[in-house]
Amino acid sequence: MSALPRYAYLGPEGTFTEMATRQMVLGQDVEMVPVVDVPTALGAVRAGDADYAVVAIENTVEGGVTATLDTLAEGSPLVILGEVVLPVEFDLVAPAGVEIANIQRVSAHPHAWNQVRRWANEKLPGVTFVPASSNAAAALAISQGKDVDGIPAEAALAPPGLAAWLGLEVLADHVADVAHAATRFVRVGRPQAVPAPTGHDKTTLSVHLPTDRAGALLEMLEQFAVRGVNLSRIESRPRSDRPGEYSFSIDAMGHIADRRVAEALIGLKRTCPLVVFLGSYPAADATPTPVAQGTDDGAFVVAEDWVRGLICGSD
């Protein structure tokens, strides 16, 4: 019987999600559970079939933001416990002796191919794409001289680092249509004590607006601004259940245990029809969150003591 923590992730093996998962659990013994899509991964956590899910949440290449954010926010509560950001780029790999000029077919997972189509159009004109169940499977087949689903290919797109393991050559690296493209992955679990603040945290929320009048969004954002809380992401999402109304997916800079963030959440909770807390966790970018004057915990404590003193007349 396995006592290892079970991680559900978008499989099959060789996906970026798998890479992200492995990076998150570095040095730990875990059980990897590949699943067919993001809702299935999150559903496995909700059902207790997995302890955690790792899913792409932003700028994604393997299905996406939308599905992840919606599925996180609806249904029984889940929270984000951490994040990693992976660059979206590949190696073009082939057995020793193959040169770019000889390549007629390239195998890869369709999502990977989608990220390099422009590059392939320019650098490998006329080449044929051979879909594989995963990038790793494509590279493995090529390293063994086998066909991919019955079709031979001379080269494959592989995650950086895989070529060395399989004894393949790297014909081109940093292959990507969009420079600096990256995907953000998050580790999701059932509600539990929030990870301790680090000084470079994010708090992810889903918020429904009270009404759709012009000032409603402004009033919601004032709940953050008056406490000096910056947002690092905001995306409106039309509500399928209420035409003309919107929910907002938000990453606030700071941790729910920071006074300024806690008070902003209290303000949202009081005034918005629905606020879903999706976790406070260390930002992958470990730059300390700037804290404006008068918005650190000390300033809150001083001001609260002042008000308490006034009520008692001890001032």
CA 90 to chain centre: 19
CB of 49 or CB of 304, closer to a copy of itself? 304
Contacts of a copy of itself in 217-246 (CB under 8 A): 217-219, 221-236, 238, 240, 244, 246
CB of 31 or CB of 304, closer to a copy of itself? 304
Contacts of a copy of itself in 195-214 (CB under 8 A): 212-214
Q: Which residues pair with 135 in a beta bridge?
A: none
Torsion of CA 83, 89, 94, 100, to 10 degrees: 180
CB of 164 or CB of 196, closer to a copy of itself? 196
CB of 79 or CB of 168, closer to a copy of itself? 79
H helix runs in the chain, sequence order: 16-24, 38-47, 65-73, 110-123, 135-143, 162-166, 216-225, 259-271, 297-312
Contacts of a copy of itself in 77-136 (CB under 8 A): 77, 79, 110-111, 114, 117-118, 121, 131
Minimum distance, C-beta of residue 61 to a copy of itself, in the bound complex (Å): 9
Does 310 bind a copy of itself (CB under 8 A)? Our answer is yes
- Please give the Cα distance from 217 to 25 (Å, whole number): 38
Residue in 98, 127, 256, 284 binding a copy of itself, rule: CB under 8 A: 256
Contacts of a copy of itself in 10-29 (CB under 8 A): none
Residue in 178, 198, 199, 200 binding a copy of itself, rule: CB under 8 A: 178
Residue 158, Cβ density class (10 Å: 0-12 exposed, 13-18 middle, ≥19 buried): buried
At which residue do the structure tokens 């999600």 appear? 17
- Please give the Cα distance from 79 to 101 (Å, whole number): 49
Query: Which of 24-32, 96-104, 135-143, 287-295 is the region at the interface with a copy of itself (rule: CB under 8 A)?
Result: 287-295
Q: Beta strand 169-175 with 201-208: parallel, antiparallel or unpaired?
A: unpaired
CB of 7 or CB of 224, closer to a copy of itself? 224
Contacts of a copy of itself in 126-165 (CB under 8 A): 131, 149-151
Minimum distance, C-beta of residue 33 to a copy of itself, in the bound complex (Å): 15
Contact 58, 185 (CB under 8 A): no
- Please give the Cα distance from 139 to 35 (Å, whole number): 21
Minimum distance, C-beta of residue 96 to a copy of itself, in the bound complex (Å): 28
